[in-house]
Amino acid sequence: MNRVTVRASAKVNLRLSVGPPRADGYHDVVNVLHAVSLFDEVTATPAAELRIVLDGGYPGQIPTGADNLAARAARALAAHTGTDPGVTLRIRKRIPVAGGMAGGSADAAAALVACDALWGTGLARADLLGLAGGLGSDVPFALLGGTAVGHGRGDRLTPVPTHVRLPWVFGLADGGLSTPAVYTEYDRLRADAPPPSADDELSRALACGDPGVVGKLLANDLQDAALGLRPDLARTLDVGRRAGALGALVSGSGPTCAFLAESAEHADRLHAALTASGRCRAVVRADGPAPGATIV
Ligand code: C5P
């Protein structure tokens, strides 16, 4: 094989419950992750050395050297399998950078699957998931896709059966938010944070396919911290709520705002209202659940 392209989805957190900080700096979470049809693509081709090429904008916002998460994924797979890490990874970015939608994690998951196929290393799913967890808390979910609940630092996943297609609208913001900075602000605001908790009602709503109930149960413990660092996002959330969103929340650590629509037509109206407000850098539509990293 001399060329492999893999597509990986963005995610939105349907419910993110965050506990107090652990000794290792991470936080235990109960994290309901949901993949949406907003994709990055990574194309792997043979090369003498590991090289990252970025397609699709974001100059200067994404490292193209050894720090790039896709490059780290290729090196981790090469080290694990005793393979030479020579490969060019061309990344076609569509997922907002530092937006709380796990774009870097999607690129890492896509790079793992692409290099595994290109190099013929044929790793078992469990081994790929193990390598993914070493790269970042959200990388295992980017491999898996669908809807899943994550425990621990969010990397120990259990799939959640989801019998509903959810129409989403995302308000992208100028600039990004640093995930560690948002967690630090969370610790400041919630010095008394209890251990994270699950919500069985949300799992039932996803299984029964009722978007109205799902919308009411959307929740993100990091939202107040993200709004503390970016107070302008509160107005963006209000625009979507006034336009009848079934649920409106900051995605992960932000600053992307996520809005759940009743139907495709309603998503069009939400899209128009958010665009007209002038509060978003861009407004995009997507549906969930979407697949995990897949060869195309
Ligand atoms: O795992 P990942 O590298 O994506 O995490 C980035 C940062 O987000 C961590 O260094 C930590 O500051 C914070 N984080 C956390 N608890 C988690 C996940 C991430 O504190 N469960």
List pLDDT tens digits, range 134-178. 999 999 999 999 999 999 999 999 999 999 999 999 999 998 899
Tell how far the Cα of 154 is from the centroid of ligand 1, in angstroms. Answer: 9
Segment 178-207, tens digit of pLDDT: 999 999 999 999 999 999 999 999 999 999
Residue 256 pLDDT: 97
pLDDT beyond 90 at 231? yes
pLDDT beyond 80 at 57? no
Pairwise CA distance, residues 155 & 132, whole Å: 9
Closest residue CA from atom 13 of ligand 1: 180
pLDDT beyond 90 at 60? no
pLDDT beyond 80 at 125? yes
Closest residue CA from atom 7 of ligand 1: 180
Percent of the chain with pLDDT over 90: 93
pLDDT beyond 90 at 25? yes
Coil/strand/helix, residue 216: helix
Residue 282 pLDDT: 95
| Spatial contact of 237 and 251, defined as CB atoms under 8 Å apart | no
Pairwise CA distance, residues 213 & 13, whole Å: 16
Closest residue CA from atom 19 of ligand 1: 26
pLDDT beyond 80 at 266? yes
Tell how far the Cα of 230 is from the centroid of ligand 1, in angstroms. Answer: 19
| Spatial contact of 39 and 95, defined as CB atoms under 8 Å apart | yes
Q: Which atom of ligand 1 is found nearest the CA of 21?
A: 20
61: pLDDT confidence band, cut at 50, 70 and 90? Answer: confident
Amino acid identity at 181: A
Give the binding-site residues of ligand 1, using a 6 Å CB cut-off: 25-27, 29, 136-138, 153-154, 179-180, 183
Report the pLDDT averaged over residues 32-37. 98
| Spatial contact of 16 and 148, defined as CB atoms under 8 Å apart | no
Pairwise CA distance, residues 169 & 76, whole Å: 35
Report the pLDDT averaged over residues 106-128. 97
pLDDT beyond 90 at 209? no
Phi and psi based region of residue 259 (left: phi greater than 0; alpha: psi -120 to 50; beta: remaining): beta
Tell how far the Cα of 138 is from the centroid of ligand 1, in angstroms. Answer: 9
Residue 197 pLDDT: 95
Pairwise CA distance, residues 218 & 223, whole Å: 11
Q: Which of 27, 28, 30 to mutate to test the pocket of ligand 1 (most atoms within 8 A of CB)?
A: 27
When the pLDDT of each residue in the chain is averaged and rounded to a whole number, the result is 96
Closest residue CA from atom 12 of ligand 1: 180
Residue 214 pLDDT: 96
pLDDT beyond 80 at 210? yes
Pairwise CA distance, residues 230 & 110, whole Å: 30
Cα angle 220, 197, 134; round to 5: 75
21-25 long-range Cβ contacts below 8 angstroms, 24+ apart: 21/183, 21/187
Residue 270 pLDDT: 98
Specify the pTM.
0.96
Tell how far the Cα of 263 is from the centroid of ligand 1, in angstroms. Answer: 34
The residues carrying an active-site annotation are 11, 138
Amino acid identity at 244: G
Beta-carbon count within 10 A of 247 CB = 22
Amino acid identity at 145: G
Q: Which atom of ligand 1 is found nearest the CA of 183?
A: 20
Tell how far the Cα of 3 is from the centroid of ligand 1, in angstroms. Answer: 33
Segment 75-107, tens digit of pLDDT: 999 999 999 999 999 999 999 888 999 999 999
